[in-house]
A and B are shown apart, each in its own frame.
Chain A
Amino acid sequence: MNSARVFFRGGLLAYKALFNFKQTAVYIPTMLISPAFQILFFAYLGRYSGLADDNFFVVGNAIQATAIGCIYGMVLLLGNERQFDTFSAVIATSTRRGALYFGRAVLPIANGIVVTTFVLCTSVLLLDFRMPATALPAFGIVVLVSAVSCAMFGLTLGALALRLKDIWIISNLSYTLMLLLCGANVRPAVLPGWLHAISSCLPLTHGIEAARKVADGAALSQVAGLIGIEALIGGVYALLGYALLRLFEAGDRRGATLITV
């Protein structure tokens, strides 16, 4: 019961407290306009080079856009505890850590889905992006699973951000790497072997592949395997991120590195 409050209301308050982009004047340009332009950029690049049609870039970048909410959200919601020196006050409470840490993912996931929905709508208006209405439920499921999985990757990055005293390098670097590696604009198959290997361990890669198939008319059952792998990757990062946070918490008590007050 208390865990549910910590998870939902705590997650919401943490978002209000720690998310840097929540004011409208910042949110609109960074969370909405910038990813919309990213899609336009790649779609026109695709038209110019004749490599692929609008759908390829729109679907790829729309799923990739969840990373804006999920990666930045999670890294800020955990890493910013250091900026305010609030972490020791938080861990001095006896609250359940599962509810505490995973609750922080709720708003970033919602935010990722909002961004994806927004850029899909703008693509319908500004580009030749079309998707059968019947594909929408399956597409929605792919977006949801991808966003959750990406947020769990964000949990791992957030744990590192807390430890490495950095929020911007970690989030910017991961976002940019994912843009290259997750298949939003470049098919992973054309990447060199080692990059391809990294790509298949990242969230979104399988989600993007599934989303493209669904947009092309595939049924949910035909992409169940891809969705399953995407969920599995999310699960692994969830465990890893949680384990790191607990490990750092314990390391803190031994070494007093996170605690600064």
Chain B
Amino acid sequence: MSVIEADGLRRSYRTSTGVLRRRTHEIEAVRGVSFTIDKGELFGLLGPNGAGKTTTIKMLTTLLLPTAGTGRVLGYDVATETARVRASIGYVFGGDRGLYERLNALDNLRYFADLYAVEPRIQRKRIAEVLDIVGLSGRERERVEGYSRGMRQRLHIARGLLHDPPVIFLDEPTIGVDPVGSRELRTTIAALSAAGKTILLTTHYMFEADALCDRVGIIAKGQLLAQGSPAELKARVADRTVVEIEAHAVTADAVEKLRRIPGVVAVTLDERDDGQLLRVQSASGLELTQTILARLGDARVGRIATREPTLEDAYVDVVTQGTRS
């Protein structure tokens, strides 16, 4: 039996603008998303900003009612059987808000241990355990006000684990956490998964999804465009080659020109602190480097490398195909 089930989930938001002539319009944030997650599976939901990941999670955690479709957790309907669903899930949202700043971590956890009906006689032990799991032991008597972003993120996770829920939703759990901390958190998440928890995770880091997830779903503009194991998704692009070029001053115009090269499937340009990173995906076997360089115009070019495709390339492929049509 699947533990998490989304069946044609839809959600629109109504927003209004203007003071005198108020205009309301609807944003369709999630447009018919379906997937199932089996017991003990770690499923990653990937997608660009505004794709509808958080909205999907909020529906599955009972915080938002679906406009259409149904969601089930452990067989309970998220729209109607809220108390059952809430008692069996942990919900961790990304970011540094959502904690009681004036309380220390211990009191934050005590409060939520009561709200989650953790038995009084095991509370002390359980709180110590979750603090240990997220690596905050020893800092629990400091007020959250003084916590760094990463520490807050860990406290969010600790809070979501208090009642030892069989199902965990993690919305960007490593956002704002330093590299070493992120790696520790990934180890923690992997351990939870190994312990049999069913986990739905969102992240913007493809290597994280690749390392952790049994299966991933790629969502863009409210629609699930592809799903499968990281290996299956990578197989989509196995017949491709990726040329990566470090550059400065590549223009949008030049990127357009690259897209028109025969054999090129996707082009992305990331702005970085130390310049730009241009990635050109093409069918393998074509020697395109010279053609690409010729079309870059006045851009200055640094290191050039050709490599095998990764999950990120599969993701880029799915999202560009999906949003083009």
CB-CB under 8 A for A94 and B83, given A9-B114, A10-B114, A261-B98: yes
Instruction: Write out the residue numbers on chain A whose beta carbons fall within 8 Å of the beta carbon of B115.
Output: 6, 10, 90, 93, 95, 100
Q: Does B139 contact A (CB under 8 A)?
A: no
The answer, among B58, B63, B65, B98, for a CB contact under 8 Å with A84, is B98
Most buried by B among A6, A13, A14, A18: A13
The stretch of B104-112, B177-185, B312-320 in contact with A is B104-112
Any B CB within 8 A of the CB of A89:
yes
The CB with the most chain B CB atoms within 10 A, among A17, A94, A261, is that of A94
Chain A, range 9-34, C-beta contacts under 8 Å to B: 9-10, 13-14, 16-18
Contacting pair A259 B58 (CB below 8 A) = yes
With beta carbons under 8 angstroms apart, the residue of A13, A89, A256 that contacts B64 is A256
Is B100's CB under 8 angstroms from A17's CB?
Answer: yes
Interface assignment of A86: CB less than 8 Å from any CB of chain B: yes
Task: Give Cα A153–Cα B102 distance, bound, in whole angstroms.
Answer: 26
Contacts A17-B100, A259-B58 given: A95-B107 contact, CB under 8 Å? no
Main secondary structure of the interface of A (DSSP, over half): helix
Asked if B116 and A84 make an inter-chain contact with CB atoms under 8 angstroms apart, the answer reads: no
Could you say which of B58, B65, B98 contacts A86, with CB atoms under 8 Å apart? B98
Contacts A84-B98, A253-B63, A261-B98; is A89 near B112 (CB within 8 Å)? yes
Size of B's binding interface in residues, CB under 8 A: 33
CA separation between A255 and B107, bound complex, in Å?
31
Cβ contact within 8 Å between A254 and B65:
yes
A261 touches B93 (CB 8 A): yes
Asked if B103 and A92 make an inter-chain contact with CB atoms under 8 angstroms apart, the answer reads no
Q: Please, which residue of chain A has its CB at the minimum distance from the CB of B91? A: A92
A residues near B95, Cβ cutoff 8 Å: 261
A221 at the interface (CB under 8 A from B): no
Is there contact, CB below 8 Å, between B98 and A88? yes
Please classify the interface of chain B as helix (H, G, I), strand (E, B), loop, or mixed, using the class held by over half of its residues: mixed
Given known A2-B117, A253-B65, A254-B65, contact A13–B103 (CB-CB < 8 A): yes
Q: Ordered nearest first, which 9 A-B pairs have the shortest CB separation?
A: A17-B100, A94-B86, A93-B115, A94-B87, A95-B115, A85-B97, A13-B111, A2-B117, A253-B65
Query: Would you give 27 A-B contacts (Cβ < 8 Å), ordered by A?
Result: A5-B114, A9-B114, A10-B114, A13-B107, A16-B102, A16-B103, A17-B100, A84-B97, A84-B99, A84-B101, A85-B98, A89-B112, A91-B63, A94-B82, A94-B83, A94-B86, A94-B117, A95-B114, A100-B115, A253-B62, A253-B64, A254-B65, A255-B14, A259-B58, A259-B64, A261-B95, A261-B98
Cβ-defined partner of B86 (8 Å) among A16, A85, A92? A92
Tell me, rounded to whole Å, the shortest Cβ–Cβ distance linking B10 to chain A. Answer: 14
| Bound-complex Cα distance A224 to B298 (A) | 91
Query: In the complex, which residues of chain A have a beta carbon less than 8 angstroms from the beta carbon of B61?
Result: 92
* Interface check B205, CB cutoff 8 A: no
In the complex, which of the residues B13, B63, B111, B120 contacts A92, with contact meaning CB atoms closer than 8 Å?
B63
Please, how many angstroms separate the alpha-carbon atoms of A160 and B91 in the complex?
27
Q: List the B side residues contacting A17 at CB < 8 Å.
A: 100, 102-103, 107, 111
